[in-house]
Amino acid sequence: MMKKFAIVALVGLLTPLAKGEPEFDTLFDGTSLEGWEQSGNWEIQTDGSLFRKEKGGSLVFAEYKVPDDFELRFEWRVGEGSNSGVYYRPTQYEYQILHNEGHSNGTNPRTTAASLYFCMAPSEDVTKPVGEWNTARIVAKGSFIQHWLNGEKVVAFDYDDSRWEENVKLLQARGGDLSARGAFLSLQDHGDPVWFRNIRLREIPAEEEIDESSLTPALVPESEREAERKKVEAIRKKREAEERKTK
């Protein structure tokens, strides 16, 4: 498939891994931004972490695209009231990064930390206090998606399952297409201080099975559902206005 993954596979044949330990490709090791593209607003700090220091746009790993089926592991922390995200498939696939207690997005479970933003809420809030490091995993194979936070699986669903039709429609209203594949990994610049470290990626082989049991997302209060409806309507009106301008 991709050169780096092919090399990893070959190394795996020559040096067998311990059973149950998959091989990851290190995208950021704390010393170099080789393979990444930015506008100079991200820097490596003395502790080996990536820091968004000023406005300028997202940090994108442009050496190759995220495989269709993959596992991504990373660590993140935020400042007071900070908002960011990790985009891993095209359109609106975003693992939300957030200080839940200090940001307006924290009132709706579907936009809190570890959610699939504006689609699927985590089953529980297991974030650490602001300023502390959180560990994260994203596992995606076919139409099944998992988000993990601090060792806990908090999002797990099959977007082709009719049980989650409401969630999928929310994402589609924002322009999301859950069937889309082939994005460059992107760390969002949302105007707030955010740190990342230990970013690792692997392709999940076709023969590898993942746990496809679903989790029940946190309940979204009716007040937040009403806010969602208003947001979707505003998006629809804006899109229609733009379409009229092009005619």
One-letter amino acid of 175: G
Query: Does residue 210 fall inside a structural domain?
Result: yes
Query: Does residue 89 fall inside a structural domain?
Result: yes
pLDDT per residue as tens, the chain (247 positions): 444 444 444 344 444 444 567 899 999 999 999 999 999 999 999 999 999 999 999 999 999 999 999 999 999 999 999 999 999 999 999 999 999 999 999 999 999 999 999 999 999 999 999 999 999 999 999 999 999 999 999 999 999 999 999 999 999 999 999 999 999 999 999 999 999 999 999 999 999 999 999 999 999 999 999 999 999 999 999 999 988 888 7
Query: Does residue 82 fall inside a structural domain?
Result: yes
pTM above 0.75, yes or no: yes
List Cα–Cα distances, 7 to 10, 70, 160, 183, in angstroms: 5, 17, 34, 21
Query: Does residue 1 fall inside a structural domain?
Result: no
Query: Does residue 208 fall inside a structural domain?
Result: yes
Query: Does residue 199 fall inside a structural domain?
Result: yes
Q: Which domain holds residue 114?
A: 22-246
Tens-digit pLDDT profile for residues 177-189 = 999 999 999 999 9
**Structural domains counted in the chain:** 1
Query: Does residue 75 fall inside a structural domain?
Result: yes
Q: How far apart are CA 114 and CA 136, in angstroms?
A: 8
**β partners of residue 71:** 139, 202
Tens-digit pLDDT profile for residues 35-80 = 999 999 999 999 999 999 999 999 999 999 999 999 999 999 999 9
Residue 32, domain CATH: 2.60.120.560
Query: Does residue 15 fall inside a structural domain?
Result: no
Q: How far apart are CA 220 and CA 105, in angstroms?
A: 12
